Chains A and B, each alone.
Chain A
């Protein structure tokens, strides 16, 4: 089988190498038809002339190579017609030459009865008798592929195969056997026998698999795939193997199994891999595995939690579901899990093993799509391209976003009616750090964010090259109609570094919390505790007012700044050792730091507020952690307040639910809502909120150890109440 395929392939390759161009074949076919038409109209000279144009190139080619089937057919038909034309022109010699060649090419050829008279049939039959003999081939064992003069004739055994007189080599090939050859001489009108004995050199192995379609590897090389189903004759074996008959493949035969040791491997997706080392094969016999190779199914389950309802879930790049998902019969293997939501993305790789029931909590990262249109007449295209590359690099690898840089054709994806507005975005020049978008511009931003599944879009507007290439990077948000800017001089590495730091700054929702008010004095060596917040880690850790903190985890504390620096290096939950001085006596206490919410600054925090909103939006939508959700909502409100979008800010702040514990509490929320109402001019509502804020004792700003809000709330209240 393999040999035949090999031979066929060789022939094909050879033919392919010399095949005539299609237009030549067509031309030859046309010439043949024209020759046939002349023949039918009894214009034999003209017919011969036309047929010459077909026969000459093809017969010439035949001298050097093997003709394709189509060429062969053309040539034989042309030879038949021309031979008939010569015969009808009383040139029997020429007719005999054509029929001779015709029978050499195809010893079985018979003339078409449409054109041939009994006289011509007799002439043709005489020609055949004069040059054609036959061969009868027998092999032991039979079934060998027989080729004569390099051309495959058939499978042994066969009798009386016509063949032109001459001496030929007959070759027999049979899997598991060494090829055999013999020489035969063919005489016209006689049959000659060719008998070949093939020596067995290889063993064979027959097996079945359950299920079918299993890839089978022999000594590491893929040799085929089991196919089909087992027949009823295998039912008994199937039953004894405990496998349903319909789950068993048909026979798979390995015909050329060399003597010695072999390893078989069986692979199929979602099934456990199997490897079998065979016992040594010492003799070239046919072997048969008595029972099927049964592969055990290998699947696990994967559950994804925290996926927003409309988010698309992709496994290895294929969209498989939406929202929270459970994949019960997931083939074992490695999967790239991607979740794409309106405002963010998640990507992770998971290895599923047989029997696994894995859960994966999806935490979306806000996606930022960096579009890099180049504006600015002062730069040429090369400079813009280079600048775009630098910025792409800066955007890549952010720990805040999954940055997406769209394909170059993204402009084509923008609807035509939006393109003009889109172009206007790059020319925005705010007075300060941010500005407001028109409704049309924000519609484009929302479209782009939706198109790229990103919460934030950034574009670069190249606008100046007086002192190096300065790029204004504009940030847009799907959430609110504002834009924010950052200028980066991309010729200045330090400036790029600064921008990178700005872009990659994460949002801190929480910070370690000790719960003391401490100050420096000229009296104390260290920082002296003035007050301890009830319920704070400091209170639980027995820190008291009047104690001096002189060290933190072995590092001396000379001032309050040292203490703050030391605490900032810690994480909530860390246990910290404080060196304490009280009444002249030194001691040490260990305190497990708590967690304090951390509020954004309304103004001038070293962050990008719009990307921060996108980041916090995802956390706010995640149902996993209520505290963190509240902190995110709170900070979204503050960030929106930063832009003056107080209507939206209040909408978010109203969703925040905090307790009444000292520090950041519900009073702080009321205070910020009051600020919003004050800015919006709703005096009564603002007064109400400030009054409510004052109802929460110990409410602070910024964080739990931040300044008390009461003085500021009172001040705002007084101002509002005294205003006309």
Chain B
């Protein structure tokens, strides 16, 4: 979507640039008109005629001033329509070798950065993408893509845990591109960087700057959520009651719910409720009102997909909108999963699935290809899985009553438990991760929520108390408010 928006931008800019040109008959003008024709075909979805026109400009008017633009269009076609990264890359690199002085050179670096770092690509490819983004900002600081490239490069740094260079890029965007429409996002990202570097106070100051400087931007509301969340965890503790029942939220619907099993954040203030008895997944808004429902076959768990849709663990199969044929391929044999207990979605759209029968956690790509197998004795009784924004996997081991953090390469980062913050876990059943990557563990027996930061340090413990009869699952919304599913009462309560 974002990419399409950029392409549309390129078209608009290019056409605007041509508009005042004087009509001149001749090869140059024919090249220009052919390119325009190709862009029109492309925008209308007639790719065949589009690439024919682009090829005509590239091959027939190789010395014209429009050839670099045509090559750029062709590269975009290879990537967007043919999904052929290699061909797209080849074309972009051709621009950079044959048309290095052309106006399309910064665009070529930019799209190389975009293509190499987007989607299910290797870490090496992402590094290549980062290098190309950095080239845009370094070699073509006046380019209209320089701010975008800086921002995306910063995001790649953040995803890799490289907060210092990320911060430098976001700061540079703020300083050098004051007119950029990415200012608010960059300011928010500056806050993120400080947060992840554990400069909590500075981070909160930066988030507040989002609100002060860009009050109309969507990031202003996000900043308010984040400030609320961080205040609650870092400044609210010991300053009075950490969480109180939010009476403005009321979801107690015995008619709608039969056997609710799981609760997950649906983004913002919304939550998904998985009802195994009714074979439904509800989407409930911030006031407790059901705003959507989707059928699912006896769902026992629900997670939020990258596109915001629910993904459920149902009837021992992992199910999204459509049943996916996930299978473990060993050698030449594909073997279906047998006993799915838990699942999670990574920030790149991959699926982590725990198969109790095979006693492994498998990672599948968004299209169902097995990417990784995580083995280990700690994974024998996995109750829940969760993935943070950096792709770190958190495994809730019910048998050992521990939280295990595993990095994207499958190596263990830490294991916390069974004692957390001086209290021993009794029956941990559910995990949640908030937008600041703090981890929440629900202990059904203790009726308590243990909150840890991403390093596993305990931040707080929230005792739910007797208002909930059987706490089955929890979710955390964007403000850090905790929603608790009371299976016995078939109700969801919100604590803020």
Q: Mark B207-218, 1 if CB is under 8 A from A, else 0.
A: 110011001000
Decide yes or no whether B134 CB sits under 8 A from chain A. Answer: no
Interface of chain A: mostly helix, strand, loop or mixed: mixed
Taking a contact as CB atoms under 8 Å apart, the answer to whether A711 and B224 are in contact is no
Contact A519 B164, beta carbon cutoff 8 Å: no
The one of B171, B175, B176, B211 in contact with A559, judged by C-beta atoms closer than 8 angstroms, is B211
- Interface residues as binary, B367-390 with A (CB distance below 8 Å gives 1, 0 otherwise): 000000000000000000000000
**Using Cβ atoms and an 8 Å threshold, which residues of chain A touch B240?**
583
If the complex has contacts A519-B231, A523-B231, A528-B231, are A546 and B239 also in contact, measured as CB distance less than 8 A? yes
User: Which of A1-9, A176-184, A211-219, A712-720 faces chain B?
Assistant: A712-720
> Smallest Cβ distance from B233 to chain A, in angstroms?
12
* Contact of A545 with B235 at beta-carbon distance under 8 Å, contacts A707-B206, A718-B164 already known: yes
Contacts of B225 in A (CB 8 A): 522
- Give the total number of A-B pairs whose CB atoms are below 8 A apart: 73
- Is the pair B208, A519 in contact by a Cβ cutoff of 8 Å? yes
Check if A517 sits within 8 Å of B205, measured CB to CB.
Answer: yes
Does B211 contact A560, Cβ atoms closer than 8 Å?
Answer: yes
B32 within 8 A of A: no
A518 to B225, CA, bound (A): 15
Given contacts A531-B201, A707-B202, A711-B167, contact A522 B228 (CB under 8 A): yes
Contacts of B178 in A (CB 8 A): 603-604
* A708 at the binding interface (Cβ < 8 Å): yes
* Interface: A602 (CB within 8 A): yes
Minimal Cβ-Cβ distance residue in B for A565? B212
| Cβ < 8 Å to B, chain A residues 510-547 | 517-523, 528, 530-531, 545-546
- Is B474 part of the binding interface, using a Cβ–Cβ cutoff of 8 Å? no
- State whether A523 touches B232 (Cβ < 8 A): yes
Instruction: Contact check, A560 vs B212: say whether CB atoms are below 8 A apart.
Output: yes
Which among B201, B206, B479, B496 is the interface contact of A530 at CB below 8 angstroms? B201
Residues of B within 8 Å of A407, CB to CB, are: none
- Set of chain B residues within 8 Å of A723, measured between Cβ atoms: none
Per-residue CB contact flags for chain A residues 674-718 toward chain B (1 = under 8 Å, else 0) read: 000000000000000000000000000000000110011011001
Q: Which residues of B contact A560 (CB under 8 A)?
A: 208, 211-212
Q: Is the CB of B235 within 8 A of A546?
A: yes
Cβ-defined contact, A521 with B228, below 8 A: yes
B235 and A711 form a contact (CB under 8 A) = no
B431-464 near A? 1/0 per residue, CB < 8 Å: 0000000000000000000000000000000000
A296 at the interface (CB under 8 A from B): no
Number of interface residues of B (CB under 8 A): 33
B212–A521 touching, CB < 8 Å: no
Instruction: Give Cα distance in the complex from A546 to B164, angstroms.
Output: 30
- A248, chain B: closest CB distance, angstroms: 79
Measured between beta carbons, the chain B residues less than 8 angstroms from A603 are: 175-176, 178
* List of B residues within 8 angstroms of A707 by Cβ: 202, 205-206
* Nearest-Cβ distance from residue A605 to partner chain B, whole angstroms: 10
B496 / chain A contacts, CB cutoff of 8 Å: 522-523
Chain A CB within 8 A of B168 CB: yes
Q: Are B164 and A715 in contact (CB under 8 A)?
A: yes
> B323 an interface residue at 8 Å Cβ cutoff?
no
Name the interface size band of chain A: 20 to 34
Known: A517-B204, A521-B224, A522-B479. A561 touches B215 (CB 8 A): yes
Task: Assess whether A520 is in contact with B208, with CB atoms less than 8 Å apart.
Answer: yes
Nearest Cβ in chain A — how far from B332, in angstroms? Answer: 47
Residues 186-215 of B contacting A (Cβ, < 8 Å): 194, 197, 199, 201-202, 204-208, 211-212, 215
A546 CB to closest chain B CB (Å) equals 5
Complex formed: what's the CA distance from A86 to B199 in Å? 129
CB-CB under 8 A from B204, the residues of chain A are 517, 519, 530
- Once bound together, how far apart are the Cα atoms of A24 and B175, in whole Å? 87
Flag if A715 contacts B167 (CB, 8 Å). yes
Other-chain contact of A711, B202, B228, B236 (Cβ < 8 Å): B202
What are the residues of chain B within 8 A of A711 when measuring CB–CB? Answer: 167, 194, 197, 199, 202
Q: Which of A531, A561, A712 contacts B171 (CB 8 A)?
A: A712
How far apart sit A523 and B171, CA to CA, in the bound complex (Å)?
29
**Which residues from A are CB-within-8-Å of B235?**
528, 530, 545-546
- Which residues in window 140-169 of B have CB below 8 A to A? 164-165, 167-168
The complex places the Cα of A719 from the Cα of B162 at a distance, in Å, of 12
Indicate whether A564 reaches chain B with its CB closer than 8 angstroms: yes
Smallest CB–CB gap between A564 and chain B, Å?
7
Bound-state CA distance A602–B178 (Å) is 12
Judge if B493 is at the interface, Cβ distance under 8 Å: no
Say how far B195's CB is from chain A's closest CB, in angstroms: 11
Min CB distance A715 to B, Å, is: 5
A602 and B167 contact, CB distance less than 8 A: no
- Give the distance in Å from the alpha carbon of A551 to the alpha carbon of B194 in the complex: 30
Q: Which of A517, A561, A604 contacts B211 (CB 8 A)?
A: A561
Q: How far is the CA of A603 from the CA of B227 in the complex (A)?
A: 28
Whether B228 and A561, one on each chain, are in contact in the complex, defined by CB atoms closer than 8 angstroms, is no
With both beta carbons as reference points, the residue of chain A lying nearest to B208 in the complex is identified as A519
* B227–A521 touching, CB < 8 Å: yes
Within the complex, what minimum Cβ distance (angstroms) separates B244 from chain A? 9
Q: Which residue of A lies closest to B179 (CB)?
A: A604
Q: Are B231 and A715 in contact (CB under 8 A)?
A: no
CA distance A546 to B238 in the complex (A): 11
| Chain B nearest CB, measured from A500 CB (Å) | 22
A interface footprint on B469-494 (CB within 8 Å = 1, 0 otherwise) = 00000000001000000000000000
Contact flag A520-B167 (CB < 8 Å), given A528-B231, A602-B175:
no
Give A519 to B199 CA distance when docked, in angstroms: 15
Q: Give which listed residue, B168, B227, B236, contacts A520 with CB less than 8 A.
A: B227
Q: Which chain B positions have C-beta within 8 A of A583?
A: 240
Residues of chain A with a CB closer than 8 A to B224's CB: 520-522
Name the residue on A nearest B175 (C-beta).
A603
Complex-state Cα separation, A520 to B235, whole angstroms: 13
Nearest chain-B residue to A563 (Cβ)? B212
Which residues of the partner chain A approach B207 to less than 8 Å between Cβ atoms?
A: 519
A715 CA to B178 CA in the complex, in Å?
A: 22
Q: How far is the CA of A383 from the CA of B395 in the complex (A)?
A: 77
Output the least CB separation between A223 and chain B (Å): 75
CA distance A521 to B231 in the complex (A): 7
Interface centre among A520, A528, A559, A602 (most CB of B within 10 A): A520
CA distance A714 to B163 in the complex (A): 12
Chain B 228-280 interface residues, beta-carbon cutoff 8 Å to A: 228, 231-232, 235-236, 239-240
Q: How far is the CA of A711 from the CA of B201 in the complex (A)?
A: 12
Residues of A within 8 A of B236 (CB): 523
Inter-chain contacts of B227 with A (CB < 8 A): 519-521
* 12 residue pairs bridging A and B, Cβ less than 8 Å apart: A517-B201, A520-B211, A523-B228, A528-B235, A530-B231, A564-B212, A604-B178, A707-B202, A711-B167, A711-B202, A712-B171, A719-B164
Residues of B within 8 A of A (CB): 164-165, 167-168, 171, 175-176, 178, 194, 197, 199, 201-202, 204-208, 211-212, 215, 224-225, 227-228, 231-232, 235-236, 239-240, 479, 496
Minimum-distance CB pairs A-B, first 6? A521-B228, A522-B228, A519-B208, A521-B231, A519-B227, A715-B164
5 new A-B contacts at CB < 8 Å, known A517-B204, A519-B207, A523-B236: A520-B211, A530-B231, A531-B201, A583-B240, A711-B167
